[in-house]
């Protein structure tokens, strides 16, 4: 990036420290930031409307002379100001409800003004309230001279306190003067010609001060060009990162003993076609000699764990160890119990390593000596004292719960081990391109045979009596129930029921005959795990909880999920919570208790169990930042593009990135010099922060 583009916006003519501080609230710190501050809309002020032709409800530009002005006393100390502007065809009254002295002085009789605003009729007379205006002294052949705010298509930017349209337009005019000569064309000419994309400099001029009015909801060629470049540079970076990974050598892991087939045939259920396909992809990766770096996306209850165990069987067959890392001790224990049951007879010896046993000499020795083949654990696996004999495969469950650095700590415990990541959060295709573009992706959509569908219904607050009857019905037939609240404690600001308060009420007043327990995020980890363990063992019939149980608890006997205030949660989170029931062969239900407006988003939950369909809808409603959770999203902030609105451009950018790298894998060709520079300067740091690690 040139020094000029990276310079502080403070050094643009007319800015200074005070205005720079205001601009920073809009994310404008540098001159380049200002270039990418895209107008939210445009107004056509290129034509002047005669005052005799004014119509109500239409935004117009008029030009005339002040023929009268007056201040009118309002309520209290308020002072309204009216100025009448006239041309040869008629007049219009300009109104300000809070007059200030400078305004009154400006609109002196005989002064000429260009004015823009929405025309309304009051007592049969045209009026424009709080118009945007410009004093005119230069008139040629009866026409006022064009400026940044009149006589053209005018950009309208999002404002903040102390930052108004005229100021922003003036700033953008100065920014363009200062920066245009510094902008270097990054896209190869052949690519621009083929995709009909205008040059970069021309695009930025047309972005801020277009020559013609864009159509409703239409993205001009210039805007598309700027968006395409943002997407294209990122996709190139991700594809380069993926290509470099593919060149990384890793141990060849293959099963020449038939143990994988033996494992699959010993399973107490048939694999789905998706599971079979993904196991095939992993098998191929492991024996390639190149580092496996794959993300397995599986909907709730789709059987990802079996796929992970298949990887550990292949690793064992090549005399390597596998580490399976889970975000909670409860989930690690669950995986361990499943491993003991499903891997019996394969020769794979599982071992559970948690903070409670990781200091034991015999546990450390079992890992170091190779006595343990599949080491299942939590963050305890990072400890320096845990040494592997020969780590060949790392499996990270619910990978979004771990940071890049944490995964790398585990990777460093082996000699370039393979890395398999799993998530139960379906990621829509456009988001996967952006977040995981440097990984191979596998998707498991099918549910295993025998899984009963989960019936989802919406109840209103007035139906609470029926809800409590339903809970009694489930408990009385020996099944268990979850009741979820979004808050731990009552909030004065939000009129929401809390888990702690409702637990006491449910226990004492509503269900005194049943055994209830409570779990929430403020409890210590071992305390939480103990409560969940006891619930799983059947010591309680009803578990009152916050969303802390969203992932990782598998209780086949829990068949009813009640979610209070579902409008406070995202669709994907609701889907994850719903996935805590339906884990066995019994029919299960999910009840959403909405005491206020029931919108389309909740009806989506009642309509479908397909996590990918739900994720697409959730992404559309909430946007990518909220969908992922801003704290751990890793999502790079696009200044021009929007991955939902511009999904087609994102797909095309990915295709073009792959096409260029196929011909020029290192971007060393002269025509690709510009894009290589852009990848290195603009996206390197952001690519490192992406979830692919």
Q: Are residues 466 and 399 in the same domain?
A: no
Percent of all residues in the chain with a pLDDT value above 70, rounded to a whole number: 91
Sheet strands (E) in 205-247: none
Query: CA-CA distance, 650 to 56, in Å (whole number)?
Result: 42
Residue 4 domain-assigned?
no
Q: Are residues 427 and 521 in the same domain?
A: no
Residue 619 domain-assigned?
no
Number of H helices, E strands in the chain: 23, 23
Digit-coded pLDDT (tens) for 339-363: 999 999 899 999 999 888 888 899 9
Q: Are residues 313 and 233 in the same domain?
A: no
Average pLDDT over residues 539-568: 87
255 φψ region: left (φ > 0), alpha (ψ -120 to 50), beta (else): beta
With cut-offs at 50, 70 and 90, classify the pLDDT of residue 627: low
**What domain range is 68 assigned to?**
44-156
Asked if residue 94 lies in contact with residue 103, where contact means CB atoms within 8 angstroms, the answer is no
With cut-offs at 50, 70 and 90, classify the pLDDT of residue 401: low
Last residue of one domain, picked from the residues 444, 464, 484: 444
Query: CA-CA distance, 367 to 374, in Å (whole number)?
Result: 9
Range among 58-62, 77-81, 525-529 with highest mean pLDDT value: 58-62
Look at residues 200, 275, 616 and name the one whose alpha carbon lies nearest to residue 444: 275
Give the model's pLDDT for residue 2: 65
Dmax (CA) of the chain: 99
Last residue of one domain, picked from the residues 410, 444, 478: 444
Query: CA-CA distance, 356 to 364, in Å (whole number)?
Result: 13
**Angle between helical axes of 647-663 and 221-247 (0-180°, round to 10):** 50
Average pLDDT over residues 28-35: 91
Look at the pTM and tell me if it is higher than 0.75: no
| Token pair belonging to 155 | 């950009």
Is a pLDDT exceeding 90 seen at residue 391?
yes
Query: CA-CA distance, 135 to 138, in Å (whole number)?
Result: 9
Query: CA-CA distance, 64 to 111, in Å (whole number)?
Result: 8
Query: CA-CA distance, 152 to 44, in Å (whole number)?
Result: 7
Query: CA-CA distance, 20 to 29, in Å (whole number)?
Result: 7
Q: How many residues are listed for the chain in this entry?
A: 693
28 φψ region: left (φ > 0), alpha (ψ -120 to 50), beta (else): beta
Digit-coded pLDDT (tens) for 264-299: 999 988 999 999 999 999 999 999 998 888 999 888
Q: What average pLDDT does the chain have?
A: 86
Residue 83 domain-assigned?
yes
Alpha helices in 597-639 (DSSP H): 600-607, 611-628
Q: Are residues 239 and 288 in the same domain?
A: no
Phi first, then psi, for residue 62 (nearest 5°) are -125, 155
Is a pLDDT exceeding 90 seen at residue 414?
no
Q: Are residues 124 and 97 in the same domain?
A: yes
Q: Are residues 434 and 413 in the same domain?
A: yes
Last residue of one domain, picked from the residues 407, 424, 444: 444
Is a pLDDT exceeding 50 seen at residue 645?
yes
Q: Are residues 425 and 505 in the same domain?
A: no
Digit-coded pLDDT (tens) for 75-126: 766 778 999 999 999 999 999 988 778 888 899 999 999 999 999 998 889 9
Is a pLDDT exceeding 80 seen at residue 691?
no
Query: CA-CA distance, 313 to 373, in Å (whole number)?
Result: 9
Give the model's pLDDT for residue 379: 85
Half-sphere exposure of 417 (CA within 13 A, CB side): 29
Looking at residue 69, which CATH number applies to its domain?
2.40.50.140
Long-range contacts for 570-573 (Cβ within 8 Å, ≥24 apart)? 570/618, 570/622, 570/626, 570/627, 571/601, 571/604, 571/605, 571/614, 571/615, 571/617, 571/618, 571/621, 571/622, 572/425, 572/426, 572/611, 572/614, 572/615, 572/618, 572/627, 573/547
Give the model's pLDDT for residue 558: 93
With cut-offs at 50, 70 and 90, classify the pLDDT of residue 399: low
With cut-offs at 50, 70 and 90, classify the pLDDT of residue 410: confident
Looking at residue 411, which CATH number applies to its domain?
3.40.50.300
Number of Cβ atoms within 10 Å of the Cβ of 432: 16
Q: Are residues 594 and 671 in the same domain?
A: no
Residue 82 domain-assigned?
yes
Give the model's pLDDT for residue 400: 63
Q: Are residues 168 and 147 in the same domain?
A: no
- Least confident range from 325-329, 362-366, 660-664: namely 325-329
Query: CA-CA distance, 588 to 581, in Å (whole number)?
Result: 6
Phi first, then psi, for residue 106 (nearest 5°) are -60, -45
Per DSSP bridges, beta strands 418-423 and 391-396 are parallel
Give the model's pLDDT for residue 596: 65
With cut-offs at 50, 70 and 90, classify the pLDDT of residue 637: low
Is a pLDDT exceeding 60 seen at residue 491?
no
With cut-offs at 50, 70 and 90, classify the pLDDT of residue 43: very high
Is a pLDDT exceeding 50 seen at residue 632?
no
Q: Are residues 291 and 398 in the same domain?
A: yes
Query: CA-CA distance, 353 to 342, in Å (whole number)?
Result: 19
Number of Cβ atoms within 10 Å of the Cβ of 409: 16
Give the model's pLDDT for residue 486: 83
Residue 509 domain-assigned?
yes
Average pLDDT over residues 396-404: 71
Total domains in the fold of the chain: 5
319 φψ region: left (φ > 0), alpha (ψ -120 to 50), beta (else): left
Give the model's pLDDT for residue 195: 92
With cut-offs at 50, 70 and 90, classify the pLDDT of residue 598: low
Q: Are residues 61 and 136 in the same domain?
A: yes
Is a pLDDT exceeding 60 seen at residue 630?
no
Is a pLDDT exceeding 80 seen at residue 300?
no
Is a pLDDT exceeding 60 seen at residue 693?
no
Residue 396 domain-assigned?
yes
Q: Are residues 30 and 173 in the same domain?
A: yes
Query: CA-CA distance, 352 to 330, in Å (whole number)?
Result: 11
Average pLDDT over residues 496-504: 83
Chain center to CA of 373? 37
Percent of all residues in the chain with a pLDDT value above 90, rounded to a whole number: 44
Give the model's pLDDT for residue 408: 74
Is a pLDDT exceeding 70 seen at residue 625?
no
- Least confident range from 139-153, 238-252, 349-363, 617-631: namely 617-631
Measured between alpha carbons, how far is residue 321 from residues 223, 368, 377, 391, 449 in Å? 51, 10, 13, 5, 31
Query: CA-CA distance, 430 to 411, in Å (whole number)?
Result: 28
Residue 191 domain-assigned?
no
Tokens 């696996």, residue located: 381
With cut-offs at 50, 70 and 90, classify the pLDDT of residue 203: very high
With cut-offs at 50, 70 and 90, classify the pLDDT of residue 629: low
Residue 1 domain-assigned?
no
| Token pair belonging to 141 | 């052949």
Look at residues 437, 420, 446 and name the one whose alpha carbon lies nearest to residue 299: 446
């Amino acid at each position: 990036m040139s020094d000029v583009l990276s310079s502080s916006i403070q050094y643009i003519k007319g800015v200074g420290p005070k205005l720079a501080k205001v601009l920073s609230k809009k994310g404008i710190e540098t001159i380049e930031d200002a270039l990418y501050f895209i107008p939210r809309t445009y107004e056509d002020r290129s034509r002047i409307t005669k005052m005799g032709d004014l119509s109500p409800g239409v935004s117009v530009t008029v030009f005339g002379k002040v023929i009268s002005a007056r201040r009118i006393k309002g309520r209290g100390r308020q002072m309204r100001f009216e100025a009448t502007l006239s041309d040869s065809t008629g007049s219009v009254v300009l109104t300000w409800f809070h007059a200030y002295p400078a305004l009154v002085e400006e609109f002196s009789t005989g002064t000429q003004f260009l004015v823009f605003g929405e025309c309304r009729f009051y007592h049969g007379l045209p009026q424009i309230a709080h118009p945007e205006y410009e004093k005119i002294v230069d008139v040629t052949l009866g026409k006022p001279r064009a400026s940044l705010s009149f006589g053209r298509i005018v950009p309208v930017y999002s404002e903040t306190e102390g930052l108004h349209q005229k100021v922003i337009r003036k700033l953008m005019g100065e920014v363009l003067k200062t920066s245009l000569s510094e902008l270097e064309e990054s896209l190869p000419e052949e690519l621009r010609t083929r995709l009909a994309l205008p040059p970069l400099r021309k695009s930025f001029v047309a972005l801020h001060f277009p020559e013609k009015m864009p159509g409703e909801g239409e993205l001009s060629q210039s805007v598309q060009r700027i968006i395409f470049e943002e997407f294209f540079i990122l996709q190139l970076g991700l594809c380069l990162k993926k290509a470099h990974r593919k060149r990384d050598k890793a141990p060849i892991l293959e099963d020449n003993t038939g143990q994988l087939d033996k494992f699959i045939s010993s399973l107490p259920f048939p694999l789905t076609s998706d599971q079979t396909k993904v196991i095939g992809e992993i098998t191929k990766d492991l024996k390639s000699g190149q580092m496996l770096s794959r993300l397995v996306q599986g909907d709730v209850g789709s059987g990802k764990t079996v796929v992970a165990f298949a990887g550990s069987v292949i690793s064992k067959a090549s005399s390597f160890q596998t580490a399976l890392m889970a975000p909670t001790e409860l989930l690690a224990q669950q995986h361990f119990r499943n491993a003991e049951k499903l891997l019996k007879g394969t020769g794979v010896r599982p071992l559970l390593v948690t903070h409670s046993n990781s200091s034991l000499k015999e546990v450390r020795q079992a890992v170091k000596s190779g006595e343990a083949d599949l080491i299942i654990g939590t963050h305890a696996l990072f400890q320096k004292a845990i040494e592997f004999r020969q780590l060949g495969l790392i499996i990270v469950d619910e990978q979004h719960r771990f940071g890049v650095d944490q995964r790398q700590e585990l990777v460093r415990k082996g000699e370039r081990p393979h890395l398999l990541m799993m998530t139960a959060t379906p990621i829509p295709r456009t988001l996967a391109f952006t977040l995981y573009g440097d990984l191979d992706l596998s998707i498991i959509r099918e549910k295993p045979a025998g899984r009963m569908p989960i019936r989802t219904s919406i109840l209103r607050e007035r139906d609470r009596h029926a809800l409590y009857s339903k809970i009694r019905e489930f408990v009385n037939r020996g099944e268990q129930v979850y009741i979820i609240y979004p808050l731990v404690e009552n909030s004065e600001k939000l009129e929401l029921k809390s888990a702690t308060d409702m637990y006491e009420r449910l226990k004492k007043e509503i269900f005194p005959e049943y055994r209830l327990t409570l779990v929430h995020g403020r409890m210590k980890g071992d305390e939480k795990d103990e409560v969940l363990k006891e619930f799983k063992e059947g010591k309680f019939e009803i578990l009152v909880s916050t969303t802390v149980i969203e992932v990782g608890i598998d209780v086949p006997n829990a068949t009813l999920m009640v979610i209070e205030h579902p409008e406070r949660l995202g669709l994907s989170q609701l889907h994850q919570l719903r996935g805590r029931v339906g884990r066995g062969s019994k029919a299960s239900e999910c009840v959403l208790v909405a005491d206020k407006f029931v919108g389309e988003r909740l009806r989506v939950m009642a309509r479908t169990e397909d996590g990918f369909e739900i994720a697409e809808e959730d992404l559309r409603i909430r946007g990518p930042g909220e969908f992922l959770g801003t704290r751990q999203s890793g999502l790079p902030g696009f200044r021009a593009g929007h991955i939902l609105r511009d999904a087609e451009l994102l797909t095309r950018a990915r295709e073009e990135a792959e096409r260029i790298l196929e011909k020029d894998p290192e971007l060393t060709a002269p025509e690709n010099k510009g894009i290589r520079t852009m990848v290195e300067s603009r996206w390197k740091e952001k690519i490192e922060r992406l979830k692919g690690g």
